[in-house]
Amino acid sequence: MKNIIAYYYNLHPEELSNVNNNYFFNYQDNNYVFQVFERPITDIDALYKVNKEMIAKNILVHEIIENGEKNVITYVNQTPYILMQTYVNPNVKVSLPEVCYINNNTVNIQCDKIINRQDWISLWEAKNDYFEAQVNEIGKKYPYLCTCANYYIGLAENAITYVRDAISVQDAAFLSICHKRIRKDDTLLSLYNPVNYIQDYRVRDASEYIKTVFFYDDSKTAYDKTIEYFNNNYLTYKEALLFYGRLLYPSYFFDVHDDIVNNNLKETEIEKIIIKADEYEKFLLDVYLYISRLYNKYIPSIDWIIKRSFS
């Protein structure tokens, strides 16, 4: 791989650190990663343009480097790679303020529609259809996983209805650069990696981050992070509804489910999600009550969650 990097980029590192076929190295006091590009190739031009715009805004994003042939992608044994110069400590965990900094400083940035993911309703409906079909196929292999499927399908349907109503509200909801998925244990290497970027409603990242805080820390920390988020970001009424609608959507379940089916996790890992279902319903109620007080106007509720929490 040293020869590839030397030939295409005229960089000559003494050592390469190989982590899952991503190659990290230092050359002339600059840090780089030569990374497998695991998104559709059709995304690369849009991501490269966004990368340049974010650098122009002085955001600490990794810088995508063109090769000597002026191409962003370099093929190695038919596998696409990109080279990026990095400016952060790759081992430091992300924080909510850092996530929000990216979201708030890329509001309404110009993006190709190919990386736009704001149509949550269509995406979630397609996921539900796929998930329901998959449950019928894998029921025998993963019986425990499938016993709780209807609950999370129902929760996703609630989220779809909630977001559909929120989108119809006549109010501003800002688009910005977000991540395909952001988790509390992600590092700055992931946070500032343009390969992870999409365009979406700016509340997406915070909601996904807070959900992982709930499931992998505790409900109090997740609730405190929610208050921190609203206290430090000026969200419109419509954005508050979209934030809550995204909290309703059980991406945390679908992510673990997909990892199990793809043989990346044992089936028993889903227990960590299922055993916290009741507690998460209580968390959703607490957040609903907090947002209602904060905005002092009508916030739609999920009636069964309220009834169950008070029963």
pTM across the whole model: 0.94
List Cβ neighbours of 42 (8 Å cut-off, separation of 6 or more).
114
Proportion of the chain in helix, strand, coil states, percent, rounded to 5: 55, 15, 30
Instruction: Average the pLDDT over 258-279 and give the result.
Output: 90
- Whether 10 shows a pLDDT value over 70: the answer reads yes
Question: Exposure pattern of 269-280 as b/e (b: 16+ CB <10 Å)?
Answer: ebeebbebeeeb
Query: What local confidence, expressed as pLDDT, does residue 136 receive?
Result: 80
The answer, yes or no, to whether residue 174 has pLDDT greater than 80, is: yes
Cα distances from 236 to residues 121, 151, 171, 241, in angstroms, run 20, 31, 7, 9
- Average confidence (pLDDT) over 250-257: 94
Q: What is the mean pLDDT of residues 215-228?
A: 96
Tens digit of pLDDT for each residue in 77-136? Answer: 999 999 999 999 988 999 999 999 999 999 989 999 999 999 999 999 999 999 888 888
